[in-house]
Chains A and B, each alone.
Chain A
Amino acid sequence: MTIASTTQGICFLILSAAVVFGSLGVVLLPNIVYSAFLLGGVFLSVAGLYLMLNASFVAAAQVLVYVGAVNVLILFAIMLVNKKEAMADIPGLALRRLLSGGVCLGLFLLLLRVDLTTPWAVPGPSPIGDDATVRIGIHLFTDYLLPFELASVLLLMSMIGAIVLARRDVFSVDIVTGDDADQALIEKSRTPLLIETPPAEPTALETRR
């Protein structure tokens, strides 16, 4: 047992515990803001696991995309619409929770069975470390080109959709009701700070000249 392997074991235990309890917290906590922050913690722990597998590029990409973009956007959305509202009680909440808990448990058992019955090749192929960046690039532009391009088309579509939804001047009539949809920004009318004088007739000073 060398120092390196001991450190690795400890790190693996801490990271796995963070992933497991963090994701449980994401699902079970009643406060949605806590859930969102915990989700960021779970993403970071998963990045730590990637780092332990010597996949530093994947780890950094995980942090950049999931923590830096996805989680920040989730938080952003929550905080922009964070109204304190009393939710109406849903009928049969206990039964619903029981059912969804049962479904989750079933899925977990299924995964556990797959995990236990698959003959894993231990230890796996040796990690290639920093060369992984080059390898990923080569794969993305050769045998994984089609999925890569399809994903970018999907992103483009969602981007255009978001722009159409966000722009106010696209729809002049409401699609559902057919009424005029006045989507202009409602602004408070304000008195101008400078008194706007109409171009006045020549004043006494100018006529005298």
Chain B
Amino acid sequence: MMTAPESMTMLRSPLAAVSTGLDLQGSFTTAMEGFGLTPGTAHLLWLPLPMLLVLVAAVIGVLVNVWLERKISAAVQQRIGPEYAGALGVLQPLADGLKLLWKEDIIPAKADGLLFTLGPILVLIPVILSWLVIPFGQNMLISDVGIGVFLWIALSSIQPIGLLMSGYASNNKYSLLGGLRAAAQSISYEIPLALAVLAVVMMSNSLSTIDIVNQQNTAGILSWNIWRQPVGFLIFWICALAECERLPFDLPEAEEELVAGYQTEYSGMKFALFYLGSYINLVLSALLVAVLYLGGWGFPIPVEWLAGAIGQSVDAPVVQVITGSLGIVMTVLKAYLLVFIAILLRWTLPRVRIDQLLDLGWKFLLPIALVNLLVTAGLKLAFPAFFGG
């Protein structure tokens, strides 16, 4: 029973992996041991650092996302958008957040107080936990758990419970309908989503996000999964938008029909949790698309070739620092390109009806995803060199 210290720490040492690239944990631990600390204490000091860093990154990502959403929607509608708070209105999302922090937190008299409070928390926590498996570089992720993307799929299935909970606890028919819609939508689109991921996993022979990215970065942009999985890419993107409840799939909070769906009765910080959750989820989905289909941290031309062209070894410290930074920049750049597309989609497309949404999920995406999986399996057997033997 108690023979598993590794599963508790949830952090597989990158030292164990045979890989090039920065090893921040190793350097940190060595430096701390230099101050006379035991290896255990040094490890304990290291543990919260990447978690805090990723949490801060996620929150800053949301702020950028909110600003982008406001600016791009303004541009789409030929307005100016926020412009007084900071240069170009960059401080506007911060002002929004502070406003929500100061607002009165109302729990309706007939609502179920306990479930009403637990709902938004249950929505937010799985989304933040999923950042565990997002890699920004060879060793730059919180934990290279072996089940990688599967962990994300499993965690994202907890979210509808939180939505149902808040919908039920609000004691409001619009909220309940919104919660039910959210659950139905989430369950329907999880299946094609998982099947699309499965096709990628089949090609890279691993569930780990690190392995999936490494398998794509043999020949730069040409070896990215989007060329080998164009259908899978589209299925995944549509399903990810549906899972994030973004337009054209924002049925659970369709304001013309349901006021605001499950968020109707929420205000103040509890509403902010929903808001934060949905935007973190959008950034997370964009990052995962980048990891699964767009080569993750890979530069369009492999850095090994570039380093070779200027006569430098890949293992040289300066080159490693540059490669690491380039990896982070590439991952974020790809993710925000996808976020930009998602925002453009939101402000240009009309909302689908609930029956159209379910039809699309069950009668179109699911069969296509199954066929895609089958074709991938066939191609893998026929051309093992190109489709990961």
B is bound to A? yes
Q: State the Cβ distance, B198 to closest chain A Cβ, in Å.
A: 12
**Which residues in B have their C-beta under 8 angstroms from that of A73?**
187
Query: Contact: A8 with B4, CB < 8 Å?
Result: yes
Residue interface bits A61-80, CB-to-B below 8 A is 1, else 0: 10110011101110110011
**Which residues in A have their C-beta under 8 angstroms from that of B186?**
72
* Bound Cα distance from A44 to B146, whole angstroms: 20
Query: Contact: A2 with B150, CB < 8 Å?
Result: no
Q: State the Cβ distance, A78 to closest chain B Cβ, in Å.
A: 9
Interface size on B, residues (CB 8 A): 37
Query: Contact: B6 with A64, CB < 8 Å?
Result: no
Partner of A57, one of B4, B8, B150, B157: B150
Partner of A76, one of B1, B44, B183, B190: B183
Whether, in the assembled complex, A194 has its beta carbon less than 8 Å from a beta carbon of chain B, the answer is no
**Which residues in B have their C-beta under 8 angstroms from that of A80?**
180
Whether, in the assembled complex, B34 has its beta carbon less than 8 Å from a beta carbon of chain A, the answer is no
* Bound Cα distance from A37 to B115, whole angstroms: 9
Q: How many residue pairs at the A-B interface have CB separations less than 8 Å?
A: 110
Interface size on A, residues (CB 8 A): 42
Which chain B residues (41-71) contact chain A, with CB distance < 8 Å?
Answer: 44
**Which residues in B have their C-beta under 8 angstroms from that of A57?**
146-147, 150
Stretch at the interface among A47-55, A104-112, A142-150: A47-55
Whether, in the assembled complex, A133 has its beta carbon less than 8 Å from a beta carbon of chain B, the answer is yes
Which chain A residues (110-139) contact chain B, with CB distance < 8 Å?
Answer: 122-124, 126-127, 129-131, 133
Query: Contact: B2 with A37, CB < 8 Å?
Result: no
Q: State the Cβ distance, B193 to closest chain A Cβ, in Å.
A: 12
* Bound Cα distance from A68 to B183, whole angstroms: 10
Whether, in the assembled complex, A181 has its beta carbon less than 8 Å from a beta carbon of chain B, the answer is no
Interface SS of chain B: helix, strand, loop or mixed?
helix
Whether, in the assembled complex, A11 has its beta carbon less than 8 Å from a beta carbon of chain B, the answer is yes
Which chain B residues (130-184) contact chain A, with CB distance < 8 Å?
Answer: 145-147, 150-151, 153-155, 157-158, 160-161, 164-165, 167-168, 176, 179-180, 183-184
B208 to A, closest residue via Cβ: A130
Query: Contact: A60 with B168, CB < 8 Å?
Result: no
Query: Contact: B1 with A54, CB < 8 Å?
Result: no
Q: State the Cβ distance, B113 to closest chain A Cβ, in Å.
A: 13
**Which residues in A have their C-beta under 8 angstroms from that of B5?**
2, 4-5, 8
Q: State the Cβ distance, A159 to closest chain B Cβ, in Å.
A: 12
* Bound Cα distance from A79 to B183, whole angstroms: 11
What are some 6 contacts across the A-B interface (CB < 8 A)?
Answer: A5-B2, A72-B186, A79-B176, A123-B3, A131-B146, A133-B207
- Using a CB–CB cutoff of 8 Å, the interface residues on chain A facing chain B are 2-5, 7-9, 11-12, 33, 37, 40, 44, 51-54, 56-57, 60-61, 63-64, 67-69, 71-73, 75-76, 79-80, 122-124, 126-127, 129-131, 133
